[in-house]
Structure 1
Amino acid sequence: MVAVITGASSGIGRATAFEFARKGHDLVLAARFGAGLEEVAIECERLGVRALAVPTDVAQEEEVNALAGRARETFGGFDVWVNNAAVGLFGHFEEIPTEDIRQLMDINLFGYIYGARAAVRQFRAQGFGTLINVSSMVALVGQPFSIPYTISKFAVRGMSISLSQELADEEEIHVCCVLPAVIDTPIFQHAGNYMGKAIKAPDPVIPAKRVARSIYNLTKKPKEQVSVGNMSRMMRFQRLTSPALLFDKYMQKMIAANHFKKKPSRAFQGNLYEPITNWNKVNGGWLPEDAA
């Protein structure tokens, strides 16, 4: 099996690359930060597989198509495509610069669209394949103070459901959507922030390797939608069973109290436009390094 993974230099993507490598599968790894990506490829090769690092900006369709082309040139094709590259952005909705929202959509939404189209072309040609889109718990329940990110994740979930319907007659082509809860990755260090307060990961936090295992398991037993973390399932239940206004007030207060530190923070574009070259690892430091 050959898997293409975007956003592979850190966080969930990096953990997923290691998970596939430990299972003996060759990899095509993509991210903007070439040096960090090469580190991941080297580590995967130490695990006994072939790993091709392809620096890629998923916001550029021609680069995503070139990524698929490199996979074909090197391995003759691919069996799995994991759309994972994404950026975060926090702030009051009306205060976030429009150009930053547009940039986030170019990565989080259009990057997934380009990846999905490249994958589906390959899968139709060969008659099989699995597309895995990493969305988020927020695509089930919403989230204040990170509305652009939430919009993008709702859209990814909608694309996954609709594309699965469109491909319903292709019995060996699968479209899966992963909905993680709060994960211990560097996304909060990398995120753009206009809240005026530093960001933190709200509890409960779960390790990225749990998401990586769920992604890998979908290649063996595909499902249209998988939640990762009890919080994801619990929040969805509360959203469906609670009065809307009561739930909305709860979310507003919970996120305001638990997602931000008291420490002031300057306005920060994060990794919206350029990769951040530190914190390129699996974990974000919100859990012990050996968390299972």
Structure 2
Amino acid sequence: MPSGAFVGRVVLITGASSGIGRAAARAYAAQGAHLVLAARREELLREVVREVEGLGARALAVRCDITRPEDVERLMRETQASHGGLDILINNAGIGLFGPVEALAEEQLRQVFEVNFFALVRVTRAALPLLRRRPGAQIVNVSSVLGHRGLPLLGGYGAAKAAVNALTESLRAELAAENISVLLVSPGFTETEFREHRLNAEGWRQSAPPLKQMSADEVAAAMVKASRRQRRDTILTLPGRVMVLANRLAPGLFDRVARRMIGKMVKRQES
């Protein structure tokens, strides 16, 4: 018999083909959940399906570009047809952006906001009719420590995540009366392929993260724990929590610390 905190519950994860999304699929499956896995890379999705089915989960892979309204509508139809409803939505899909604000192309900023913010809103709105049918439903928005405190050269990405943070607070209040919990999970720098697919301002590339990285599995474990306990806000890694606290208590001092990080982070591309 399946066992765990989420036995029989249906969890939809965007960006499920790799990184935090893939690790979250394994973590929820290990707790008895059934899964809907959405991403653009269908072959990788099928690999994740095999992994979670090996853990006893029932899983549906849906090739989905969350920036396309028709894909999102189809995702919800297939979720309903396959699982009969939805208990937990995990808005995980995202894209990064690196470079000083003055060097960021407007097209890059719009792309980052489209994936990280507008698509998250699109998926959430489409999922609400399904979530409303299940008691104790949840929305888990994956943000970033950078949504709480911006760092040099990561301002475009941090701005999109800050928008997610504000949206999460509003949704939490709006949906409380319907018994839908809205949770925010904010990883620090995480060891995934995320940096490899990130957008870069022309002539700029990050050489290394300024802080110690955590693994995708560690993020997923913390996400499941937050989901199980319905913890409103989870900021991950000790350096991440220190960074957010230092910014609240001594923002001027942390500004100086942040400026010193630039030399460690940046690798100027050869022209």
Common topology (TM > 0.5): yes
Query: Aligned AA for 1:137?
Result: V
Structure 1 runs of 4+ aligned residues shifted over 6 Å read: none
Give deviations 1:84-108, integer Å, cap 9, x for gaps: 0000011121222111111111100
Is the contact between residue 119 and residue 131 of structure 1 (CA under 8 Å) also seen in structure 2? no
Work out whether 1:190 is the aligned partner of 2:197: yes
Is the contact between residue 10 and residue 87 of structure 2 (CA under 8 Å) also seen in structure 1? yes
Number of residues of Structure 1 aligned to a counterpart in Structure 2: 262
Query: Aligned AA for 1:27?
Result: L
Aligned to 2:266: 260
Aligned to 1:83: 91
Query: Aligned AA for 1:35?
Result: E
Aligned to 2:232: 224
Mapped to 2, the partners of 1:138 and 1:259 lie a distance apart of 15
Higher relative contact order (CA 8 A, sep 6+): 1
Mapped to 1, the partners of 2:25 and 2:207 lie a distance apart of 27
Aligned to 1:247: 254
Q: Percent identity?
A: 35
Give deviations 1:256-275, integer Å, cap 9, x for gaps: 1232347x367xxxxxxxxx
Aligned to 2:127: 119
Query: Aligned AA for 1:182?
Result: F
Aligned to 1:26: 34
| TM-score normalized with structure 1 length | 0.85
Listed as ranges, the gaps of 5+ residues in structure 1 are 267-292
SS at 1:176 equivalent: strand
Aligned to 1:287: none
Mapped to 2, the partners of 1:137 and 1:197 lie a distance apart of 20
Give deviations 1:25-66, integer Å, cap 9, x for gaps: 111001111111111112111222111110111112221222
SS at 2:183 equivalent: strand
Aligned to 2:169: 161
| TM-score normalized with structure 2 length | 0.91
Listed as ranges, the gaps of 5+ residues in structure 2 are 1-8
Query: Aligned AA for 1:208?
Result: A
Is the contact between residue 37 and residue 59 of structure 2 (CA under 8 Å) also seen in structure 1? yes
Aligned to 2:4: none
For residues 95-134 of structure 1, what are the structure 2 equivalents within 5 Å? 95-134=103-142
How far apart are residue 219 of structure 1 and its match? 2.8
